Structure 1
Amino acid sequence: MIARKFSLAISTAVLMAGTAFAQGNLVEVRDNVQVVPFNAIADEVDDWDVYDASGTEIGDVEDVVGTDKNTPTALVVDFKSKSAYGDRDVVIPLDQFSLQGNRLILKADAAAVAQMPTWDD
């Protein structure tokens, strides 16, 4: 029993450290940097509406972030409070999105997003 509690405590600490580490290594990219998957610059991607696979609007892009100011790797999505994703800003890798027409579609479901790090700006 003690070993199980210790293991749970270690696992929780590692997950929390990973979340802090993930955000600590990301910065907002410059407005004029190209976000290649979307053929748009970061300034254009900011404030795009985000939709789930069913076509429901679930939030909008708060920031474009990356490993440095010239390398976008993720979007920060500000989820609407009434969505299944919760009312929070979440860092989501670029490969979790697709652009269909003029809609930015999030491929990840709410359960997957719940495991992703939050963004505090």
Structure 2
Amino acid sequence: MLKRFAILTMAAALTMPAAAISQTAAPNTNAGGLVELDDDRTDVNWQGRSIDELEDMDLYNTGGDKIGEVEEVLGDADGRITAVAVEFGGTLGIGDKQVVVPLDRLQLGQDGRLVTDMVEEDLAQLQEWED
């Protein structure tokens, strides 16, 4: 009985570190080493907008048509915002796609809207982001 208890105790102790490690999720990385930035971070922003404010912003083309929505804010290994993952296309979430849009293709309009000089066909040519 004591031997069985010792074996069970040792087995439990050996599995503890693995359980703790498995609970620490690695950041989602793809698309050339970009990482998904945590929307709780307040130490980084883009044009005065926090990560949380950028997420879920609608993206418009220069003609004023909505062409997508920011799903994730992406950054480099140092945590600087360098791009966003934009979801576009599809209907009611079916057939949509997420792509990486570099910050240099975006601007904040005077009305606070997120604007790009691209159209949906241009978005379709960008690198995909797998959430």
Whether these two folds match at TM > 0.5 is: yes
Please show how residues 5-24 of structure 1 align to structure 2 within 5 Å: 23-24=31-32
- Write 1 or 2 for the structure with the bigger share of helix: 1
Does residue 114 of structure 1 match 2:124?
Answer: yes
- The residue type paired with residue 89 of structure 1 is Q
Q: Which runs of 5+ in 2 are unaligned?
A: 1-28
3-state SS of 1:44 partner: helix
Q: Is the 8 A contact 1:46 1:61 kept in 2?
A: yes
Please show how residues 1-121 of structure 1 align to structure 2 within 5 Å: 23-31=31-39, 32=41, 33-36=43-46, 38-68=47-77, 70-81=79-90, 87-100=96-109, 101-121=111-131
Q: State the alpha-carbon separation in 1 of the partners of residues 72 and 78 from structure 2.
A: 12
Q: Is the 8 A contact 2:88 2:120 kept in 1?
A: no
CA RMSD of aligned residues (A): 2.2
1:24–1:96 CA distance, 2 compared to 1 (3 A): closer
Q: TM-score, normalised by structure 1?
A: 0.69
* Cα shift at 1:111: 4.2
Q: Is the 8 A contact 1:51 1:103 kept in 2?
A: yes
Q: TM-score, normalised by structure 2?
A: 0.64
| Residues 90-99 or 69-78, more deviating | 69-78
* Cα shift at 1:107: 1.8
